[in-house]
Structure 1
Amino acid sequence: MTPDPLARIDETTEALAALRDAFTGEEPLDDALQRLADTAARVMPDADAVTVSVVTADQPRTAAATDPRLIDVDEKQYSADRGPCLESARSMKTVRAVVGEHLDLWPEFEAAADRTGVRAYLSVPVVLPASDDGEAQHIATLNIYSYTAAAFDPFDEKLMRLFTTAASATINSAQRWQRSRNQVLHLERALESRAEIEQAKGVLMAVHACTADEAFTMLVERSQHENTKLRGVARSLLESVKGS
């Protein structure tokens, strides 16, 4: 029995809502991608397994999988530098493949898929957030495997493209939230460090009747001598004063 399209849209909408609520930004990106794979496997009727490939300039990798046995099909594409997964990432388009119809184009993918019993494959691009070191956004692909050759019609392709677009926006928002939170935490630590250093300078100025610059030089010299961060030296000095 063919699933009702409207019912499937409702199911996908509900799944996206659950996905959005789950992404708090506190979990690692790979955990978020695993959640994405698990959700896609639930909402796609013909999906027997789902993986997520992250395609970077260095080396593509499978970041998530609902069935580890299918990771080999992904990895054969990576090593050959060709296949529907990479085609989807590079073209930013949905790619559907029926095993047996692309022997000349993707022989490595064809052989690996055939060994696992896969008969149909749908790969949909996902835009991932920029990395913390400022690199550009990465591209991932949501790879959906089916043991039925007739799986995945045009409606499935459009639905999954909508799904990945919404999921991409959700993941990006969560990751941006996490980066902003980290920046705030770093700033708070920096301000705490500065406050402790200023207090330690004040102690040294009072004890040695020296200037602020001279007190700071004392702290730096002690930091270098003890191979300890400046904040640690300042904190130690303040604790010794409190304990005396």
Structure 2
Amino acid sequence: MNKSQDHLAEPDVVRRVDDVTGALEGLTAILEQDEDLSVVLQRVCLQVVQAVPDAEMASITLLRDGGYSTATATGDVARRIDQAQYDAGEGPCLEAARTGTIQRVKVREAARRWPEFAAAAEGASVASFLSAPLFIDSEYQGSLNLYGAGGDGFGALDAALLELYTTAAEAALRGARRYVSARETVGQLRTALSSRAVIDQAKGMLMAVHRISEKEAFDMLVKRSQEQNVKLREVAERFVAEVLDS
């Protein structure tokens, strides 16, 4: 595809915006079916190549535990290019993540700005780089990266389309993260309520059998938990089961 985008006809621009819209609709459909973040990130990576037609490959870089890593990519070549940036500590994806600005760079400019990375990435058949900052929440942030093989490099329209897609994808991913977090909280509350119920049941049995107070019954359970080195809930469950089986 010719990347001289300054002279694109209006129908071409509309078609490209439609491509982004279609990709986002597909992402929304995935969010309705699967809330697993790794699956959603993979879908984002695959669909952004369709949203920005001049992109040959894509990847997503995330900052986790103080270091950068590739969460997903469309292929091994993209992963190798990402890794070259992590090893060198420089490159378009790291620059986008660190500065919060889109990086649109051709190979020659990359060689001037990040010589160590460019040398490591040489031979990957990539002619241009386009990376946008990706911020989901304080735990998940990094960049969405595109790699092009064409000689003309990414144009201003490519950058605008990527920014549009990334902004909408961030909102969708935040929604998915909130849903997962809420579901985990509900699960934890259910576990806590279940634990409390069985502990209360065990306390009641101990109080009836030994004619002791609620505090004394609870202390007995805690002591047994410490002696057996198991959770209080497990001690309570075992005791209740023993009484019911006897």
Instruction: Mark yes or no: TM-score above 0.5.
Output: yes
Question: Among residues 222, 225, 241, which one is paired with 1:223 in the alignment?
Answer: 225
- 1:105 matched to which residue of 2? 113
CA contact (8 A) 1:51 1:65 kept: yes
CA contact (8 A) 1:72 1:112 kept: no
Question: Among residues 173, 187, 191, which one is paired with 1:171 in the alignment?
Answer: 173
Alignment of 1:37-186 (within 5 A): 37-56=45-64, 58-131=66-139, 138-186=140-188
**Secondary structure class of the residue paired with 2:234:** helix
CA contact (8 A) 1:55 1:86 kept: no
Letter in structure 1 aligned against 2:186: V
**Structure 1 segments unaligned to the other structure (5+ residues):** 132-137
CA contact (8 A) 2:106 2:127 kept: yes
CA contact (8 A) 1:98 1:119 kept: yes
- 1:234 matched to which residue of 2? 236
Letter in structure 2 aligned against 1:11: D
Inter-partner Cα distance in structure 1 for 2:199 and 2:65: 43
User: In proportion to residue count, which structure has more helix?
Assistant: 2
Note the aligned Cα RMSD (angstroms). Answer: 1.8
Moved more, 145-154 or 188-197: 145-154
CA contact (8 A) 1:55 1:139 kept: yes
Moved more, 71-80 or 167-176: 71-80
Write the deviation string for residues 167-207 of structure 1: whole angstroms up to 9, x where unpaired: 11111110111011101110111011111111111111111
- 1:135 matched to which residue of 2? none
Write the deviation string for residues 216-244 of structure 1: whole angstroms up to 9, x where unpaired: 11111111222221111111121222223
CA contact (8 A) 1:88 1:141 kept: yes
Shift of 1:106: 0.9
Letter in structure 1 aligned against 2:235: V
Letter in structure 2 aligned against 1:224: Q
What is the identity percentage for the equivalent residue pairs of Structure 1 and Structure 2?
Answer: 40
CA contact (8 A) 1:128 1:139 kept: yes
Alignment of 1:16-31 (within 5 A): 16-23=24-31, 26-27=35-36, 29-31=37-39
Q: Relative to structure 1, is the Cα distance of residues 241 and 57 closer, same or farther in structure 2, using a 3 angstrom cutoff?
A: closer
CA contact (8 A) 1:126 1:164 kept: yes
CA contact (8 A) 1:128 1:172 kept: yes
Shift of 1:26: 3.3
Shift of 1:56: 4.7
Inter-partner Cα distance in structure 1 for 2:65 and 2:90: 14
Write the deviation string for residues 119-150 of structure 1: whole angstroms up to 9, x where unpaired: 1111111102233xxxxxx4211111111021
After TM superposition, which residue ranges in structure 1, 4 or more long, deviate above 6 angstroms? none
**Secondary structure class of the residue paired with 2:195:** helix
**Secondary structure class of the residue paired with 1:142:** strand
Shift of 1:208: 0.6
Moved more, 162-171 or 106-115: 106-115
Inter-partner Cα distance in structure 2 for 1:102 and 1:209: 79
CA contact (8 A) 2:51 2:161 kept: no
CA contact (8 A) 1:119 1:149 kept: yes
Question: Among residues 36, 45, 57, which one is paired with 2:44 in the alignment?
Answer: 36
CA contact (8 A) 1:84 1:95 kept: yes
Write the deviation string for residues 47-66 of structure 1: whole angstroms up to 9, x where unpaired: 11111111357211111110
Alignment of 1:197-212 (within 5 A): 197-212=199-214
